[in-house]
Amino acid sequence: MPHGGTKKRSYSVLSRRTEKTKDAAERVRFKLSKGMNLKSACAFVAREKRMKATAVRKAYQRCFSHPTKVHGGRLLTIEQEIIAKGMILAFSGCNLPLTVQQVQENIRVMYGVMMSKSTVYRWVDSIRDRVSKRKVKCLSQKRADPYIVEECAAFIASLEESMQHSKMMAHNCVNYDETRLFVVSNEKVRLERVDKNRNELLSGKGELIGTLVTFVSADGLVLMSCYVLKGEKSQETGFEGLVEVEFPIPLPEYEFRSHHPRFFAFSETGYLCSTVNKCIIEKFSEIWALRYPQLHCYVFSDQLASHSNVEMVRNAYKQGILLWSLPANTSHFAQPLDDVCFGALKQKIGQSAAEIEFRGALVGLDIKAALYSAVYEQESSVWTPRMITKAFANTALFPFNPKRLMTLARQNIGIYENTTLDLVDHAASAMSEVLNAQIREVTKQQTRVYRRRSLVSAKCLHSPEKLMSYHDVREEKQRKRQKEQEERRKEKSRQKEEKEKRKVKNTCLGEKCVRVHRGGKNWMVCAKCDGVFCPEHRRWFLQHVVKSHAR
């Protein structure tokens, strides 16, 4: 038979099958209109058309797609899929990719749709190229602390009270913070290394070579920056208090009048310490006094130990510099430099990192000097006035917006107030659901886990019951030891009181005499009241006997 006849017959078979599935879908629709549920309707039509129930159901879903879904076979609407994608993308961008189980549980909690694990896996795998992102910054471990809201409320109340006496304006609202400069072992350049829990972000052990401290104001200006470099303590005679350093200073080709002043400081570790920070604040006070004479300044920072030196705060206050510490664990959403500025600088340095690494591999480029040069050159050009003012507005620091700051604090711990129908808000609400679910799971797990402490042998195996018994024995011994200590403490206190009583009883009753009878000779003791008199107060003893005990 000719090839064309075969194609014609195949088309006719396909046409009959299409008509059959459409007819089956129409019959299911008719049965649904009569009050029958979808499962029963598909089973009835399958028996009638000699088809499988699953095939009838798929035919119905594809022929009569939902107006808000991609097609009738999808369990989620288009809007729900967009929200779920935004939620997955947000966590992936923070180096916390969600697992399939977490996505499945979140969809069940939010929309009441129970998707199978395989369905969720296939859906996530189909959108993996659009939701897989990586950044250096990861979420704070303490971001779910409920005390953040209370501390933010106290901070707002204190700041509003201070603003009644000292007005806060754009040019006198300043934020300063530090970011660290690292070079890892295989000559990779990195700014602000993340190494506490995200070790996979590093390609080797790193070396801290300095810290960048920057002051920015809400009117979009960079007021000052300081590089804290690492140095070794001098061992030469006569130079014991100095630090020996070797540093490159990249000089720009052109120095404009708008460039902010930059300084260098040195410490043995390269980190910002209290001594160096005190010098930096003093230098900033001098610059502020020259720039704005007789004007106070609000300077906000995080609660780093070097930022909270009492003497430094007192001296700065005398010069009109009001040093304010933001609430603990809020710098990732309440500090302007952490919001946009440092992120933009890291991104810019990351773009030139490949070129620095390539030159270092070919011609032996000094990686440290190249990093200094890159940061030094990009620092002035990256931070634009628009970026800085946007950072202050995003963190609600200026214009000062207490309501927005409290909203950010609540969102930070997963309490999201959904007041609009914007998809971005819905995605943020989905993230809050994930955070709350994790908090509930951690709380539930903590109630099931029994933490015990005991001394055990490392040369044998132990059952859980045996380990618990070890702990109980140790707790019993500790309670017994504490009880014995308490009894000894009480006995010692009782003996001390008795000793004081004996001392008072054996003290000479003579006028202004403080001598105590300890069994020596020639002391006189009254037979009736046991009063004692030293040999020097024999006359007082006779008067005591005559006056007190004479009939």
**pLDDT tens sequence across 435-454:** 677 666 666 665 655 566 66
**Widest distance between CA atoms in the chain:** 155
| Alpha carbons 500 and 455: distance in angstroms, whole number | 44
Q: Do residue 210 and residue 335 come from a single domain?
A: yes
Q: Do residue 235 and residue 335 come from a single domain?
A: yes
Which two tokens mark 147? 């005390």
Answer with the one of 381, 413, 445 that is the final residue of a domain. Answer: 413
Q: Do residue 181 and residue 36 come from a single domain?
A: no
Q: Do residue 26 and residue 174 come from a single domain?
A: no
Residue 201: inside a domain, yes or no? yes
| Alpha carbons 324 and 101: distance in angstroms, whole number | 43
Residue-level pLDDT at 248: 64
Q: Do residue 43 and residue 151 come from a single domain?
A: no
| Alpha carbons 508 and 416: distance in angstroms, whole number | 78
Residue 239: inside a domain, yes or no? yes
Most confident listed range (231-240, 369-378, 416-425): 369-378
Average pLDDT, the chain: 77
Q: How many domains does the chain have?
A: 3
Residue 194: inside a domain, yes or no? yes
Most confident listed range (237-246, 370-379, 494-503): 494-503
Residue 440: inside a domain, yes or no? no
Residue-level pLDDT at 240: 61
Answer with the one of 397, 413, 429 that is the final residue of a domain. Answer: 413
Q: Do residue 46 and residue 195 come from a single domain?
A: no
| Alpha carbons 309 and 230: distance in angstroms, whole number | 22
Residue 102: inside a domain, yes or no? no
If we measure between CA atoms, which residue out of 402, 382, 273 comes closest to residue 334? 402
Answer with the one of 41, 63, 85 that is the final residue of a domain. Answer: 63
pTM of the full structure: 0.56
Residue-level pLDDT at 548: 74
383 with 340: CB under 8 angstroms? Answer: no
Q: Do residue 392 and residue 533 come from a single domain?
A: no
Domain containing 273: what range? 147-413
CA angle (121 as vertex; 118, 124 as ends), nearest 5 = 150
Q: Do residue 208 and residue 345 come from a single domain?
A: yes
b/e sequence 39-76, b meaning 16+ C-beta within 10 Å: eebbbbbbeebebebeebbbbbbebeeeeebeebebbb
398 with 173: CB under 8 angstroms? Answer: yes
Q: Do residue 53 and residue 172 come from a single domain?
A: no
Q: Do residue 368 and residue 240 come from a single domain?
A: yes
Q: Do residue 178 and residue 284 come from a single domain?
A: yes
Mean pLDDT confidence for 378-389: 87
Residue 485: inside a domain, yes or no? no
Q: Do residue 304 and residue 157 come from a single domain?
A: yes
CATH number (domain holding residue 151): 3.30.420.10
Residue 54's alpha-carbon distances to 21, 46, 403, in angstroms, are: 12, 9, 53
> How does strand 297-301 pair with strand 173-184?
parallel
143 with 266: CB under 8 angstroms? Answer: no
